[in-house]
Structure 1
Amino acid sequence: MAVFNHYVLAVWIGNFDGKPNPAFVGRAAAAPLLFQIIDSLRASWPERIEPHLPPPGANLKRVEFCAVSGDLPEIHCTHRVEGWFIPGISPIKTCDVHQEVLVDVATGLRVPIDDGTRQLRREVYEFWPSDLLRLFERAGVPRRPPPPFLPGTESELTARIGNPPRIISPTGEHETLFASSNAIPLRAKTDADVREVYWFADKTFIGKSNVTEMLTWKSTPGDYQLTALDDHGRSTSCSVTVR
């Protein structure tokens, strides 16, 4: 929720049936959309914008924020806005959405390191988690995803860059699930440069899924180490018990 000028704007993101979804965190999902709506409204208003000032002595400081993520800016955040910060209360998080990558000039594809064999240029792209990219797509707000790596790039090199997947279904580090006629849904949140996720129960391959899709797992009762491996070699695991 935001108060700006003479208006109050609230943005809520959840399921289409009106129920909340624990996979959507307000600061990461609703906040970027809220700031974009505010910027769009201000750009279309003919009225003069008057700043809303806090009362004297309030525990507030005026600081710069990344206009895209709403976090504190880092060197690659070129679009910035000023806002109010509450010392000791407001979260201190530096923007990790904007990241610089190496791009091969000849192909326009990404490379993990500069080994001196190609002409490269440095470009900044937005690295949104896969669940937020789905929300932006539904809202009709296009983002600029990073290009894929050059074919043949070693997975050992790509695995060192970025974040591993985060399993969001099932939830929790250890969860007890109940096998039924309906299969168990598997979903992971990934970096923006990931296209596919490979799933394993212990050492048994379950299947692969696109980052925008959910994979179903028909499991027999037992204890399993569930692993999500992205197409860059980054992985994460959690323990599940199926009864």
Structure 2
Amino acid sequence: MTEHGERSVLAQVSPRYLAGGGDPRWVTAPLQHAFHWQAAHRPLSPVVQLTRRDRQAELLLAPDPDHPWWTLQHLPHDGAPAWRVTFGARTPAEIVAAATDALTAGPATDTPTDPGKVLAQADWEPSLSMTRFVSPDRYATVIRLLPGTWSIEVAAPGMPWNGQSMVVPVWAALFTEDTPAHIVAAVFSGLVSPEPVLRDEKTMFRPLRYNAAIARERVPARATEDALWDRIDRLAAGRRDTPPPPSPPAPGEPLPRRPR
């Protein structure tokens, strides 16, 4: 409850690539609670490191203004090369989660072999060579740098309220050459999704607040906690691997359990 007795509410923001970072637990909590990735013990550190049980994959969240905040990487195995995906600080957690969800679920039968088709089908403007795609609002650009190597760049006018056209970088992502196509396609699907995401409008980066579409209808802030646990339960129910035996809780403050 606020000082005036009003319930805290969140705004519905679209497109999601202009929504800002959001709650990082949307990415980290399912990996730990549904798939039992192990958390490294880093006392008094903002760094979060989660490692898959086979030690072949790792997610790193390292708040550093000079480097990508999110890094998802996979070691070489069974003849397949290593790969890495990085995301900047203001990448929406829902878009980062598209990559981790695709990694844990594996490729779907309808995954396109060319991830660029996801963008083309969403009416993103392609270049003649299909190596560059631009969002309808011109704020997001996806570039195929090399075969299998992609980048995402999102920028928006910094001060549209006073007529100035200065463009401000918002976030960027990079997929190394051997990133599996189904993971790239999943991130692109999250990028083009028309579904709004929930954010605290007052804390949004100004260029995002003034360029994104914000619905008038607000949602109770508690809904995000419920949605997070629904997501964890759904992913845990659908995982393909066998649950491990019980283990001691990971160091650090646990995620509060949803009341039933």
Same fold (TM over 0.5): no
Q: Which has the higher contact order (CA 8 A, sep 6+)?
A: 2
Q: For this structure pair, what is the TM-score category when the shorter chain's length is used for normalisation?
A: under 0.3
Q: Which has the higher helix share?
A: 2
Larger Rg: 1
The two structures have a TM-score, normalised by structure 2, of: 0.24
The two structures have a TM-score, normalised by structure 1, of: 0.25
Q: Which has the higher strand share?
A: 1
